Chain A
Amino acid sequence: MRFMVITKATAASEAGRPPATEEFEVVGAFIQEMVDAGVLLAADGLHPSTQGARIYFDGTTKTVVDGPFTETKELIAGFFLVEMKSLDECVEWFKRFPVLRPGDGERSNIEIRRVVQAEDFAEEMTAEQREAVERRDAGARFD
């Protein structure tokens, strides 16, 4: 099963301060360990929310609001896509995530979410629902 593991923003990451050399190294080593074990599919970090935007949907009105966003701790700072046998395995792996930030008593968390894949639908979906998905997918652009 596939998981998205979300790391959260900190004051430092939102301020755009690049990680210290040491942090690059330990996180790099952790990533390498997951590559060696064949579990990591992708991993990326995100720029501070100053370089992002939000689109608010309210009925038919769409409002674009540029970053930064205020609720730092709830913001996404990066993500991993991993293939694990179970949530337990994913949890054990990411307990090893070397958090150097936030420090200064700031509390942070890593969020693990399971990625929905086709087989998750197989059982619950009715034939009509599946057909609807097929039709939607068929109409979708390839990439």
Chain B
Amino acid sequence: MTTETHRAIETVWRIEAPRLVAGLARLVRDLGTAEELAQDALVAALEQWPAEGVPDNPGAWLMTTAKRRAIDQIRRAETYRRKVAEVGRELEESAPDIGTLVAEDDGIGDDLLRLVFVACHPVLSTEARTALTLRLLGGLTTDEIARAFLVPEPTVAQRIVRAKKTLAKARVPFEVPQGDELAARLGSVLEVVYLIFNEGYSATAGDDWMRPALCADALRLGRVLAGLAPREPEVHGLVALMEIQASRAAARTGPGGVPILLADQNRARWDQLLIRRGLAALERAEARAAGRPGPYLLQAAIAAVHARARHFADTDWERIAALYEKLAEAGPSPVVELNRAVALCMAYGPAAGLELLDQLMDVPELRNYHLLPTVRGDFLSRLGRTDEARVEFERAAALTRNERERTLLLDRAARARTPLPTPLPRPVDPPGHRHRAGTPLPPDNGPRKRREGPSSREKG
């Protein structure tokens, strides 16, 4: 077999696999079996295509081949059951009608949507959901997932096997949730997609290229999802957020991978195509939100304010402060409040920011969070309250675990008399901050490195 044909088959397979597995899963009601059947179809293609040529419609060929095998399997199982139970009548009544099942070929989109909801089912851990989603919907191999998340390949493989078992054991139905359940389940799906995006966004220079590629995978998943669930405002909101954040990819690191803060980024390098796509997605989200914007939409709206500002000085901080207020209403979080304080400072001066900040001083989640004293020190120093500023910077230096940051903070403490302009450092989710509604501080409202997640937490 020529390597070209081989490569072509593998590529076709990657393009078709999600739809294939989705269609088969509806038929056999089991993810593991569906994947095996899809694999069988791939093997058949590898045997036949090199000799007969790649068919005109390879996707349909693969689907027909796999479904034929699925039906054989169902028939065999039925025959077996019939023999054992010797109650054919009962079976006739309960078994799905193969004819109808196979005829339902139009619902591929629905099948994919069902597959998304099953892969992101809440009975699974976040790690399992992420791995399963990338494998089944992103078309990534276990090896690629492992490289992207910096974990050993067997760990990912095991995670996926266990996830499929968990789903089978919990008898998770292969269906799109309805009514009240939909919102919560959709939240679980969007969380997984954004988590994949963040993982890619936090990749640094020297990382395996599979890591930054996660951004593209997440964007693709998000766009697919927007097509599958076009009436959901938060889906468009998430797509908008990711498109706009991805638009800054080229501008956000300098030579050697040093991060460049939003204030210092060369905006000419922002990807205008992605910004336009992001703004269009935001419009779609807003049109569907019926005046009740969710956290993704609001974060996208904040990102859009930055995207529309041609220079950092043009940023509409009043609007950003107002959006943070709505974000806090949608999902109260001290990190959002901290961001809002910075926006208030930028919009109305340090006194306004300080007023909000002072209300946050006793919040338990922020007690050991070095960014709170950092920001407070910055505000105080802008107000000329240099002694207090020095104390805050010293406190922040004692709290941070990052050596370079500590040096910078101690330096600022020493020079507290000279008010420094922005930039402020980027905040990180404090431990226990589950809801990812917190957008980082204005200097770069891109996603930040997660403390917990597939790359750092193992369950064995």
Question: Is the CB–CB distance between B212 and A85 below 8 Å?
Answer: no
Q: Which residues of B contact A55 (CB under 8 A)?
A: none
Q: Specify which of A42, A88, A91 lies most central, judged by the most chain B CB atoms within 10 Å of its CB.
A: A88
Q: Once the chains bind, are B255 and A130 in contact (CB under 8 Å)?
A: yes
Name A118's contact: one of B221, B269, B274, B310 (CB within 8 Å).
B269
Q: Which of A18-26, A65-73, A102-110, A135-143 contacts B (4 or more CB under 8 A)?
A: A135-143
- CB neighbours (8 Å) of A134 from chain B are 266
Whether a CB of chain A sits under 8 angstroms from the CB of B11 is yes
Q: A38-B219, A38-B223, A127-B255 are in contact. Are A92 and B268 (CB under 8 A)?
A: no
Q: Return chain A residues, CB-CB under 8 Å to B14.
A: 85, 89
B residues sitting closer than 8 Å to A (CB atoms) are 7-8, 10-12, 14-15, 109, 205, 212-213, 216, 219-224, 227, 249-251, 255, 266-269, 272-274, 277, 310
B223 contacts across to A, CB distance below 8 A: 35, 38
Q: What are 12 A-B pairs with beta-carbon distances under 8 A?
A: A35-B223, A37-B224, A38-B222, A41-B273, A88-B8, A89-B15, A92-B15, A118-B249, A122-B205, A138-B268, A140-B268, A142-B267
A122→B221 CA distance, assembly (Å): 27
Q: Is the CB of A37 within 8 A of B269?
A: no
Contact, CB under 8 Å: B11 / A37: no
| Alpha-carbon distance between A41 and B14 when the two chains are bound, in angstroms | 20
For A117, the closest partner residue in chain B by CB is B250
- Report the bound CA distance from A130 to B253 in whole Å: 12
The answer to whether B220 touches A83, judged by C-beta atoms less than 8 angstroms apart, is yes
What 1/0 mask marks residues of chain A from 66 to 106 whose CB sits below 8 Å from any chain B CB?
Answer: 00000000000000010101101101110000000000000
Chain A interface bracket (under 10, 10 to 19, 20 to 34, 35 or more): 20 to 34
Given contacts A38-B220, A41-B273, contact A86 B267 (CB under 8 A): no
Q: Are B11 and A143 touching (Cβ within 8 A)? A: no
> Closest residue of chain A to B243, judged by CB?
A41
CB neighbours of B273 from chain A (8 A): 41-42, 81
Q: Give every chain B residue within 8 A of A118 (Cβ-Cβ).
A: 249-251, 269
Q: Are A119 and B212 in contact (CB under 8 A)?
A: yes
A106 to B14, CA, bound (A): 33
Cβ-defined contact, A83 with B216, below 8 A: yes
Whose C-beta in chain A lies nearest to the C-beta of B225? Answer: A38
Minimum CB–CB distance from A57 to chain B (whole Å) comes to 24
A119: chain B residues at CB < 8 Å are 212, 249-250
Asked if A124 lies at the interface with its beta carbon under 8 angstroms from chain B, I say no
Q: Does A58 sit within 8 A of B, measured CB to CB? A: no
Tell me whether B266 and A36 are in contact (CB under 8 A). Answer: no
Least distance between A81 CB and chain B CB atoms (Å): 7
The interface residues of chain B lying within 8 Å CB-to-CB of A143 are: 272
Least CB distance, A17 to chain B, in whole angstroms = 27
- How many cross-chain pairs have Cβ atoms below 8 Å apart between A and B? 65
Can you list the 3 inter-chain pairs with the closest CB atoms, starting with the nearest? A118-B250, A38-B223, A38-B220
CA distance A72 to B452 in the complex (A): 57
Task: Indicate if the CB atoms of B15 and A37 lie closer than 8 Å.
Answer: yes
A112 interface residue, CB < 8 Å from B? no
A86 to B209 alpha-carbon distance, docked (Å): 13
Q: Which residue of A lies closest to B310 (CB)?
A: A142
| Extra A-B contacts (14), CB below 8 Å, given A38-B222, A119-B212 | A36-B224, A36-B227, A38-B221, A38-B227, A41-B274, A85-B14, A85-B213, A85-B216, A88-B8, A119-B249, A122-B205, A127-B255, A134-B266, A137-B268
Nearest-CB distance from A92 to chain B (Å)? Answer: 5
Is B11 a contact of A86 with CB atoms below 8 Å?
yes
Collect the chain A residues with CB atoms within 8 Å of residue B274's CB: 41
CA distance A127 to B266 in the complex (A): 16
Quick one: which of A31-46 are within 8 Å of B by CB?
35-39, 41-42
Contact B277 A41 (CB under 8 A): yes
In the complex, the chain B residue whose C-beta lies closest to that of A125 is B255
Question: Which residues from A are CB-within-8-Å of B277?
Answer: 41
User: Cβ of A138: which chain B residues have Cβ within 8 Å of it?
Assistant: 266, 268
Closest A residue to B14 using CB positions:
A89
Once the chains are docked, how many angstroms separate the CA of A122 from the CA of B204?
12
Q: Give Cα distance in the complex from A77 to B15, angstroms.
A: 27
Is there contact, CB below 8 Å, between B220 and A35?
no
Q: How far is the CB of A44 from chain B (nearest CB, A)?
A: 12
CA distance A18 to B310 in the complex (A): 39
* CB-defined contacts of A127 to chain B, threshold 8 Å: 255
Q: How far is the CA of A134 from the CA of B205 in the complex (A)?
A: 19
Contacts of B12 in A (CB 8 A): 92
A140 to B267, CA, bound (A): 10
- Chain B contacts for A122, CB-based, 8 A: 205
> Contact at A89–B268, with CB atoms within 8 Å?
no
Residue on B with the closest CB to A142?
B310
Q: Which residues of B contact A137 (CB under 8 A)?
A: 266, 268-269
Residues of A with C-beta under 8 A to B219? 38, 83
What residues on A are CB-neighbors of B267 within 8 Å? 142
- Report the nearest B residue to A83, measured CB to CB: B216
Q: Quick check: A142 and B15 within 8 Å, CB to CB? A: no
- A123 nearest in chain B by CB position: B205
Give the distance in Å from the alpha carbon of A127 to the alpha carbon of B223 in the complex: 36
* A91–chain B nearest beta-carbon distance, Å: 8
Chain B residues with Cβ under 8 A from A88's Cβ? 7-8, 10-11
Partner of A92, one of B8, B109, B205: B8
Residues on A with C-beta less than 8 A from B109 are 36
